[in-house]
A and B are shown apart, each in its own frame.
Chain A
Amino acid sequence: MIVMAALVAVSLYFIIPPSVKTHLGLDLQGGLEIIYTAKTADGRAPSTAELDQTIGILDRRVNGLGVTESAIQKQGTDQISVALPGVKDAQQALDLIGKTAQLEFYKDDPQSRPVGPVATKEDALKQLKRQGVSQVEIDQLSAEGNTDKYALVVSPAEAATSRPEQWFVFKRPPALTGDAISGARAGFSGQNNKPNVLIDFTAAGSKTFQEITRELYRTGLLKGTPQTFAIVLDNVMESDPMIDYTDPGLRDGISGGAEISGGNMTIKESQDLAFVLKTGALPVKLVPTYQQQVSATLGKDSLRQGLIAGLFGLGLVLIYMLLYYRFLGLVADLALIVYGILLWGLFSAIPVTLTLPGIAGMILTIGVAADANVVIFERIKEEVRHGKTVRSAVNSGYARGFKTILDANILTMLTAAVIFVFASASPKGFALTLILGVLVSMLTAVLFTRAMLGVLAGFAFFSKPAFMGVRTSQIETVAVAEGRTAASRRRRTTTAASAEGTSQGAPVPAADGAATVTAAPSRGGSSAGRRTSTTRKKKKRR
């Protein structure tokens, strides 16, 4: 009784705060999921530290988008999954989140720029090859855009000045990298009032930047031609400002900040660029390997269908148990309902995201939870047939039945745990609900079913075997096993065509009519099994 009260209290505790809503996965509420494979600039597998850093930056970007309940997780050794449930502008999210935002400043002189400008990527690579660079390096540069020594940079065509696309190869390392940035904001250029992005440098960055520009000023003065430097973002040249050597104000270089004013940036583009620069560059390159975009309607429909299927399933199981086990079935049904409440409460109480496979897992566990009752009840019925009183049958039946359930459930959970650890995304959610479901079902079997049976066994009306669907005629005083043995023996003797004497006591018809000698071919499978159960039900009702 104490146990039962505790159970009720526990379940109430879970259910009562209605404010806690179940976390729905994005397949149920709509949204965007992307799985990225991370690669370092030179194609090496990323380190754990790099992945963690990437996740931190992604987190900042996602929060900046205003998505709540987002989940960013490491997957395996080189993958990151980003789930954005309920995200409104999927396109914007896609544009922003995965951007490497690796900002680099290159000096634009022949020494730092071995190739360019040329018209195509192939030309750029060919020219670099002519300079004696190995084919392996060329191939890597072609595929990744970067190697340890070189960076392939494109300057997109500009419609306003009808300048075609241009390709360059710059020598790594760059004069300055995104690490030197302390902030970025969208604004407007003072010269032509077009949208631009203003970059603030850190103290060290500011110093380096000033040195670079001062050097460019001096070189320009010496050579008599203005020098430029290139601002490159993810291998795209955003702008190539010129240092005017005729302006003595630049003698000491440029201090303070820099400005990116790529051609025809729209206001939105400048804001997006400032946003990714501000959240920092990713230490790795993210290649989307899987992307799923679910609309809110589809998600809602899936959830409704899942719930309908679940409720129908639960209903059918309740009816089946009631028809087959009668009064015990009622106990089982109550236990099932308690189980349902507990499981739902658990899902509300802990931060588990419910996904579509998760719902399937939950529905399956309805069956598993009812199975536990079947095993226990069959055991109790068996004990009653053996001639035990109902009360002692309940005790020993429960104890023995539970042992079986334990083994079966541990195997189920073992497999589910393996799935959870080793399998990828979608099976994971399923495995988790399965584990939780089996645990809760065991808890219900231990706390609720046992307590109910214990309490009921105390009532006089409960001690009638008929209450659990056992006919009085089925109760034997002779052990069933002995009778079975005889039956089995008899079959043996028939097949062997012999006259073996029974040494194990008189053949008593076993509970299920085991004594019939049979030669009929079995049809096997559970289609036969299903029919069996219905017939047996009829037999018992009579």
Chain B
Amino acid sequence: MEFFRRIYSFDYMGHKKWWFTFSAIIIAAGLISLFVRGGGNPVKGLNYGLEFKEGTRISVAFEKQPTLAEVRQAVADAGYPEAQLQETPNVGGSKQRGFQIQTVTLSTTQQAEFKQALDSAFTIAQANGAEIFSLETVGATFGRQVVSSSLKAVAIALLLILIYVTFRFQWKFAIGAIAAEVHDLLIVVGIYSLTGREVTTATIAAVLTILGYSLYDTVIVFDRIRENQPKLSRLPYGDMVNVSIWETLTRSINTTMIVILPVLCLLLFGGATLKNFAFALLVGILSGAFSSIFVASPILTLLKEREPQNRKLKLAARGDGS
């Protein structure tokens, strides 16, 4: 109980260094992981899904319930001894036990032949009159295009956010907001690298969304700071920011909770694609809630305290004691 009362009166701005250290440690861990896993190239330090690699992936369930070894043998017999196989309890989201087979890129004819080979070996299972068989093929350039177009989107989104926040607030607010954004992105990417989770196009969509949504809490706090500034002009800037955070803390917590609830449901009940999506969103939303108070606001305070009148106030607050 005491603890909860304290978070509504805690001197957040006075402990800037702690927050920065905390964030820096997590981000550094992620970056190190990116560099180590990528062998020096951070772009390669992620576990990219098939969409980013060249090849064909088949998800299939069989009537005859063969073992992994039997399927591996059949795949090798069909001419693909180097294929990667994986058993899944519910193939492609269905209730059936099945397999994921990843091969080199198959041409249309090869696909048909391979499917035929699998069908004659184990009989492809059916559900509701349709075969449980799905196939995905990706060419060499597709992944590169997705990544490059996404990087372009991130750069443009950051620029627009910078312009909008500068226009609605002030450039110092914009710097705080952008710092929070970059912080959130680095955390999500770092966690994906650390956990080795598969990065798919859904992940990228989620990361891009985080860019937009993680500012929600930051805007709530900034809005209050903007409103409190004239009212509490006699306070040192950091204290005024503290007051603003205290006043908006409940709604920051509630908005975060309310968005996390459905995202958690996605994580629990969604199929593979949705789960993937939800995980990235979850990390991003948590990081966004954190960064609104512990990154965006402290950076704004740092910048603002350098202004002459704010510096005077700060010195006065200190000077009174000496």
A residues sitting closer than 8 Å to B (CB atoms) are 27, 30, 35, 37, 76, 79, 91, 94-95, 287-298, 300-302, 305-306, 308-310, 312-314, 316-317, 320-321, 324, 356-357, 359-361, 363-364, 366-368, 370-371, 374-375, 378, 382, 400, 403-404, 407-408, 410-416, 418-419, 421-427, 430-431, 434, 480-481, 484-485, 487-489, 491-493, 495-498, 500, 504, 510, 512-518, 520-522, 524-526, 528-533, 535-536
Q: Which of B215, B232, B255, B260 contacts A375 (CB 8 A)?
A: B255
Distance from B139 Cβ to chain A, minimum over Cβ atoms (Å): 3
Q: Would you call A289 and B212 a contact (CB within 8 A)?
A: no
Other than the known A301-B94, A423-B153, what 12 A-B pairs have Cβ atoms closer than 8 Å?
A295-B133, A302-B93, A312-B262, A367-B255, A367-B258, A374-B251, A374-B254, A378-B248, A481-B232, A487-B9, A532-B253, A535-B4
List the B residue with the shortest CB-CB distance to A434.
Answer: B209
B191 at the interface (CB under 8 A from A): no
29 contacts between A and B (CB under 8 A): A91-B108, A94-B111, A95-B108, A289-B138, A291-B136, A295-B130, A301-B95, A306-B274, A308-B269, A310-B265, A313-B265, A314-B262, A317-B258, A360-B266, A366-B262, A378-B250, A411-B161, A411-B219, A416-B209, A418-B156, A425-B201, A484-B246, A495-B11, A498-B320, A522-B10, A525-B286, A526-B286, A530-B257, A535-B1
List the A residue with the shortest CB-CB distance to B93.
Answer: A301
Which chain B residues border A426 with CB–CB below 8 Å?
201-202, 205
Which chain B residues border A525 with CB–CB below 8 Å?
286, 289-290
> Per DSSP, are chain B's interface residues mostly helix, strand or loop, or mixed?
helix
List the B residue with the shortest CB-CB distance to A336.
Answer: B258
A27–B11 Cα distance when bound, in Å, is 50
Interface contact tally, CB-CB below 8 A: 367
Contact (A403, B223) CB under 8 Å given A309-B270, A317-B258: yes
Q: Would you call B258 and A320 a contact (CB within 8 A)?
A: yes
Which chain B residues border A416 with CB–CB below 8 Å?
209, 212
B2-24 interface (Cβ within 8 A of A): 2-12, 14-15, 18-19, 22
Which chain B residues border A514 with CB–CB below 8 Å?
8-9, 246
B185-215 interface (Cβ within 8 A of A): 201-202, 204-206, 208-209, 211-213, 215
User: How many chain B residues touch the partner (CB < 8 A)?
Assistant: 120
Contact (A411, B270) CB under 8 Å given A316-B262, A524-B22: no
Which chain B residues border A427 with CB–CB below 8 Å?
150, 201-202, 204-205, 208
B135 at the interface (CB under 8 A from A): yes
Contact (A364, B281) CB under 8 Å given A297-B127, A309-B270, A531-B4: yes
Q: Would you call B4 and A536 a contact (CB within 8 A)?
A: yes
- Please give me the 8 A-B residue pairs with the lowest Cβ-Cβ distance, nearest first: A498-B321, A313-B262, A415-B212, A367-B259, A289-B139, A427-B205, A496-B321, A291-B137
